[in-house]
Amino acid sequence: MFLEPTFRWYGPEDPVPLSHIRQTGATGIVSSLHYIPYGQPWTQDAILERRRIIEAAGLNWSVVESLPVHEDIKIGAPGAAKYIEAYKQSLQNLGKVGPKVTIYNFMPVLDWVRTDLHYRLPDGATTLYFNQVEFAAFELFILERKGAENDYSPEILRKAEEYFRGLTDHAAFRLRRSIIDNFPGFKGVTIEDIRAMLAKYDGFTRERLQENLAAFLNEVVPVAEECGCHMAIHPDDPPRSILGLPRIFSNAADVKTLMNMVDSPANGVAFCAGSFSAGINNNVVEMFKSCADRVHFMHLRSTQVEDGNFYEASHLGGRVDMFELVRAACEEQIRRRKEGRGDWRIPIRPDHGHDIMDDLQKPPCPNPGYGALGRMRGLAELRGLEMGIMRAFYPEEM
């Protein structure tokens, strides 16, 4: 395969073992050291142990996803400097003994957000779903965020109250858990924790968050360059304000701003087609072309968007023109190889797969969207699509 096929693995506790992943057609692993608390440096020994486990299974540790950015860095708190230094140490150690592509995000408080982790599709599969009425109900009546009512239309407010009043205690518990307690390395979070984190962002502006991202990148990108590493930011998911907080990597203008913050190949993008596709005004293929030379990793997934709500579509369905996106990625790799770049292959992975077939009979996956069979189906579809594109348009490059 021209693109490097990878599979995400959450570590030894992942119910999808490496021995099964090897059977999917993936050759690379995307993994992180989730057991290390945010803000603490990754040691060479810890990196080498994860690498040893992966290589013993006949696979390659291709990408770190993610090396988390401590919340104090995003806020620009007085103690941010020590966490930036720890981040530099982790990059230096990764440069010596680990993967050379490191993913991070700069989303305040919460990472990706969904309101239903088991939304039933017409074919019986389940998928991840974001419903703005359900999220509004969470903000207004569970989190009780001050000022949340100002972020919604009267119609959404009415529907949110009606929805919440109809929830059983168990359904309200599931909604809360779906939103705040599904992130590896960030388990056991409570509503009080979220309120305390939000308080630190009181009065925060989009410009201030951008300034803090620029300050962070100016510190860590030179270290990444020295280590031969590439930093790649994950898009906001969903690409809109959440919890009244700004999000700064959601559209084409944000991509341009990011690349201009530090003009270096080490300052790049983890191009998540699904995250960008949830923004109804985003042209995903054109966005990729605008930053192709800085794309160090790709999540090839798609969403179906309906009236502000969205769910994870099949890997070849939804809003993303996957044919044109994969073709553009192939063209970018051809360009890189002709330039003589040693890192010309772009790692890709199927992301947020549907729960299908036997996986529906198993206990719920502790990592929503990361069951085995749905992602394997997605990877098979993507590999077939890529082979068809290469054979039809670029046979001389194979």
Residue type, 323: F
pLDDT tens for 58-74 read 999 999 999 999 999 99
* Peptide bond just before 238 cis, omega within 30 deg: yes
CB atoms within 10 A of CB 58: 11
230 is catalytic: no
Examine residue 66 and say whether the peptide bond preceding it is cis (omega within 30 degrees of 0).
Answer: yes
Between CA 236 and CA 257 the distance in angstroms is 14
* 299 within 8 A of 272, measured Cβ to Cβ: yes
> Considering the entire predicted model, what is its pTM?
0.97
Residue 302's pLDDT is what? 98
Task: Give the chain's residues under pLDDT 50.
Answer: none
List the catalytic residue out of 272, 296, 355, 359: 272
Instruction: Identify the structural domains of the chain with CATH numbers, from first to last.
Output: 4-113+199-397 (3.20.20.150)
Tell me if residue 234 is catalytic: yes
- Please tell me which residue in 34, 70, 230, 234 is annotated as part of the active site: 234
pLDDT computed for residue 184 by the predictor: 72
Number of helices and strands in the chain (H, E): 14, 12
104 given a catalytic annotation: no
Q: Is 272 a catalytic residue?
A: yes
Annotated active-site residue in 70, 230, 299, 315: 299
Of residues 34, 70, 296, 352, which has the active-site annotation? 352
The reported pLDDT for the residue numbered 1 is 64
* Residue 351 bears catalytic tag: yes
Task: Confirm whether 370 is a catalytic residue.
Answer: yes
Spot the catalytic one: 236, 237, 351, 359. Answer: 351
- Tokens in use for 387? 């082979």
Which pLDDT value is given to residue 374? 98
User: What digits encode the pLDDT tens for the residues 167-225?
Assistant: 999 999 999 999 998 777 667 889 999 999 999 999 999 999 999 999 999 999 999 99
Half-sphere exposure of 284 (CA within 13 A, CB side): 29
